[in-house]
Structure 1
């Protein structure tokens, strides 16, 4: 394997590091911050998607689509909960 690593592969490696880092964070921290967890996962999925659009691997590309969708759902859930807390504080 003497093939040079191109910029798209490097982007994919950074995406992989983001997803692994987010999983480590989830495991290591007692109460993970959803913004950090899901934001890092979404960033990782986006970077891996960029890599996979050049070096196509359809099963991995589909996986990243689901990974991104779950991260977006988690961020939306966090955002809605944050807004509910703010509204409750204003009413009190």
Structure 2
């Protein structure tokens, strides 16, 4: 039987965020970068919470890169918004 403690449930919510962001990217012709990268960052953060408790090093490192890329995407979107003003 699967042990569904609070950290596993948090991880599932994070997974849903990342899958939702990918679906949004595929669905929209012109996705909002704040929604896309913000949702990816939230998903990476939630999965990281889960992975700190239930450590899986390759997945934990992956989430670090995923979060860094999302932060970079948010930074680029903020920079573009400022340049447009």
TM range, smaller chain: over 0.9
Taking structure 2 as the reference length, the TM-score comes to 0.98
| Separation in 2, partners of 1:71, 1:63 | 12
Q: Which runs of 5+ in 2 are unaligned?
A: none
Q: 1:57, CA displacement in angstroms?
A: 0.1
- 1:37-56 alignment to 2 at 5 Å? 37-56=36-55
Taking structure 1 as the reference length, the TM-score comes to 0.91
| Separation in 1, partners of 2:71, 2:25 | 17
Say yes or no: does 1:76 pair with 2:60. Answer: no
Compute the RMSD of aligned alpha carbons.
0.6
| Separation in 2, partners of 1:16, 1:43 | 10
> Which is higher, the Rg of structure 1 or of structure 2?
1
- For these two proteins, the number of residue pairs brought into alignment is 85
Q: Which runs of 5+ in 1 are unaligned?
A: 87-92
